[in-house]
Structure 1
């Protein structure tokens, strides 16, 4: 399954044909301004195996993988491919050496077709030197058939769901016929059925001798697909074990260096009056007749499969896509939420599903990202921003949420996914919301950060905030919600109280 380009690179490198490890890193160190991301770490990937990389956000996992994928250059240490030292200068250099990476944050071109995205820079040409679109379509269809992906190669990426975009990224990586495939949180946007499909693909690739590095925070995935795992903590290598030799609790202890005794710290708090009431809400072609109430101190979980309309309902309530019909009432008074600004004025906050595309302003620093939602609030007088007061509250919020950063002037794109999520939560907590909508609040977040975010949500409910929490992770929905609303194909199929909600009952309603 190795391409001629890769084979040529291997021959030229003088690689050892039967080296014990396909890819390895030794004594690697990487520093960023004010942060040691990796400190004398090691990693070893065997041929035909799935090696899971575990650790909290900020532990150094993605940094090491970016070094192995040619994105970063290590300050110290060495990387070996098939027993031969290599120095990767770019992602293209890594690809030519048979190393492909699927990033957690998708990097597709939205206004190009699926086929164009997969073969970009490698487009087949006709005898006149022009792109042969027919051949590109054929090659894409052949690749999809091999991977059992049902998708039209001519569909524009912007029209795909997040889950389908993830499958395109996977197909693109496989198309390089690489010896090493690095997957960074590949199932974060996939349904259970799509995860099973991905695992089938992974097992097939593994059987062909490909080495797969698998970064995940989902313990069940580790035990189902990984042959072994390595744990990192605070930029240091902790250890490597066969997945059959340890328990879930063992892994958590290695990751966080402590026991996490209460992953879902849900408290019984007084439930007050109805704060938000939604009646017969419709968005043409997306969802219909959605009705529910949320009370002060209540956490309403919204469950359903990808495509059920959960996120669309949240966006409509917040004014991102105003409703076609129906009503929204706050504290018993009907309101017209025609924009996010209007929603914010009604003390509503919305943590979006995709922190890269609709959450973080990646080129700005932490302070600018955190303060943006309150720049028209009490910190602005006579057209001037009270920088000192605003910076102080942002610093206090950063400490409260335990954001790992040398200072607030660090660009948010340099933070781990978990710390980016904390900054976004801090942004909305500064608005002092009475209604908080959380869409996938812990997607791509490690177990330690998850427990912290769950604690914040519990504290907000205790303070009387009405919380709507959308999550694809069933334990999170069941563990944190007072009630669960289930959706299927744009309609509400039922409600379950906390005492009666089980995974089986939720899935029965989600599949109706």
Structure 2
């Protein structure tokens, strides 16, 4: 391989098409080594597609890629890695091997290289090398621990550790902070600054605008598969960024709706899950949006799963309209009027290899069958089309595979399938993670609409602004338990954060 000190990365007139979709149209993108470059746009704008071209995941594009003034034909992941380009994808479970250890996952590329060369693998040296990378990142995860035993945040850090274990010129981070806590995000930012100082170029994709201003030097904004603007980030306000992303001015982020909140409708008592959820009590009134606030790792996801019968080790009692429910599986939860939109949408919320229509109707197929076996494809297609239209899901057709949609549109599919179920209780676990401001507003409107129809909403999020903007009341979780119940109109983000970190007001 040629010299490693690439000073400039250029992508020229990049275009790419998929069946029924022109994903990129003559996009020019360039960035410099030693700089952090924000690449943003609404879901479906083409930013992740552009980076997949750069990483060699897509090879049927037109246009050229240049490194340090030299043409770099990248048509495979190996081509990208040989040119010192590494990418960390948003969905960690699709690229980590769960039944291998942390060390083996971090040193995966080196291990494969040794195996191809028929060299003996020195396991002690492998684990020592992996530990060196983790020490550099200041990540406290045992190298011998299986990846399947890790939290989502720990998996993300393992993936980042794998990327930086190899010498790279440019590192692409696709929504790296979405599953991370504040302290873990600070660790990542420390690493980004360190890599910048060592001459590595960073391409940073994120929908969290404040963090872009904290870590990035330049910004490129995309919309509808085209480049809209490129500038130094300090020359552009957050409001301007949002308007460039959407192509229009954004009115209030959170919906202003008049809702009548009724009687206590849903109640959970003494919910426990070994080492994860500690004796939680909560209730939701008819038409009420109740928040589950707390930092990453506080137990919000585990509580949502326990309520939905998705954990075999959970216990406690659940009541709907005063009637005690027996929920020991997700199937029983659905039969009893509960719906869950999970945090890890690609692994638990959607079938990525199936069509949009099949996903949307998956939970209610019996509604479209005759005599228990004959499926009415016309009725199924009509129902799916209605949800696609109502939620504004950007897809060429209902027949398109979910894996080809953007993250925000995948999330809308995960939500849409439960709208056909017409549940009594909707549990949303980090529903806006990894989606753009426009898609977030669509999801907020949907949640508010469900509540206005008298549905009970449990809304889990680590975003304090969401707690303040969408909920009527909230429970703050810390270390697996509820530490405080707050009425939204009588609290603020500072108080929520105080309780989220285990602080107690006197």
Q: The TM-score by the shorter chain falls in which range?
A: over 0.9
* Structure 1: runs of 5+ lacking an equivalent: 1-7, 12-16
**Within 1, Cα distance between the matches of 2:157 and 2:136?**
13
- Say whether residues 1:58 and 2:73 are aligned partners: no
- Determine the C-alpha separation between the residues in 2 that align with 1:325 and 1:412: 34
> Hey, what does 1:311 align to over in structure 2?
301
Preserved contact between residue 231 and residue 237 of structure 1 (Cα < 8 Å) = yes
The answer to whether residue 409 in structure 2 is matched with residue 419 in structure 1 is: yes
Cα distance in 2 for partners of 1:173, 1:192 equals 21
Q: What SS does structure 1 have at the residue aligned with 2:366?
A: coil
Give yes or no for contact 2:266–2:321 (8 Å, CA) kept in 1: yes
Give aligned pairs, total. Answer: 498
Q: Give matches, 1:430-469, under 5 Å.
A: 430-469=420-459
Note if contact 1:9-1:96 (Cα within 8 Å) is conserved in structure 2. Answer: no
Matched, 1:265 2:258: no
Alpha-carbon distance change, 151 to 322 in structure 1, aligned in 2, over 3 angstroms: closer
Corresponding position: 1:113 with 2:111: no
Q: Which moves more between the two structures, 434-443 or 369-378?
A: 369-378
Measured against aligned partners, the alpha-carbon deviations of 1:30-77 in whole angstroms (never above 9, x if no partner) come to 110110000011101112100000100100000100011111125321
Contact 1:440/1:469, CA 8 A, preserved across alignment: yes
Give the one of 345, 348, 357 matched to 1:358.
348
Distance 1:476 1:204, change over 3 A: same
Name structure 2 gaps, 5 residues minimum.
none
Instruction: Report the equivalent of 1:238.
Output: 228
Aligned to 1:161: 151
Structure 1 position 26 matched with structure 2 position 12: yes
> Tell me, what secondary structure is at the counterpart of 1:392?
helix
Deviation of 1:490 after TM superposition, in Å, equals 1.1
Q: With structure 1 as the length reference, what TM-score do the two structures score? A: 0.94
CA contact (8 A) 2:309 2:332 kept: yes
Q: How does 1:203-282 map to 2 (within 5 A)?
A: 203-282=193-272
Q: Give runs of aligned pairs for residues 60-75 of structure 1, distance below 5 A.
A: 60-75=46-61
Look up the match of 1:43: 29
Alignment of 1:191-206 (within 5 A): 191-206=181-196
Q: 1:503 to 1:115 in 2, by over 3 A?
A: same
Q: Does 1:9 align with 2:2?
A: yes
Q: CA deviation at 1:248?
A: 0.7
1:325 Cα deviation from its structure 2 partner:
3.5
Measure, in 1, the Cα distance between the counterparts of 2:369 and 2:341. 22
What aligned pairs does 1:290-329 form with structure 2 within 5 A after superposition? 290-322=280-312, 324-329=314-319
CA contact under 8 A between 2:366 and 2:372: conserved in structure 1?
Answer: no
After TM superposition, the structure 1 stretch with the greater mean CA deviation from structure 2, 206-215 or 360-369, is 360-369
Change beyond 3 A, Cα 1:502–1:379: farther
Q: Which runs of 4+ in 1 moved over 4 A?
A: 124-128
Distance 2:200 2:312 in 1: 48
TM-score, length of structure 2 as denominator length:
0.95
Q: Secondary structure at the match of 2:81?
A: helix
Deviation at 1:309, TM superposition (A): 1.2
Matches of 2:472 and 2:307, distance apart in 1: 20
CA offset digits 1:324-345 (Å, max 9, x no partner): 4321000111111111111111
Separation (CA, whole Å) in 2 of partners of 1:274 and 1:376: 31
Q: Is the 8 A contact 2:295 2:462 kept in 1?
A: yes
Once the two structures are TM-superposed, the CA of residue 273 in structure 1 deviates from its matched residue by 1.5
Cross-structure match for 1:503: 493
Q: 1:166 to 1:324 in 2, by over 3 A?
A: closer
Instruction: Measure how far apart 1:323 and its partner are.
Output: 6.0
Deviations 1:245-290 (A, max 9, x none): 0111000010000111111114241001122101111222221210
Residue in 1 aligned with 2:399?
409
Q: Note if contact 1:275-1:295 (Cα within 8 Å) is conserved in structure 2.
A: yes
Give the RMSD, CA atoms, in angstroms.
Answer: 1.7
| Structure-2 change in CA distance of 1:325 and 1:361 (3 Å) | closer
Alpha-carbon contact 1:275-1:435 (below 8 Å) kept: no
Q: Show the counterpart of 1:481.
A: 471
For 1:275 and 1:322, the matched residues in 2 are separated by 25
Matched, 1:384 2:374: yes
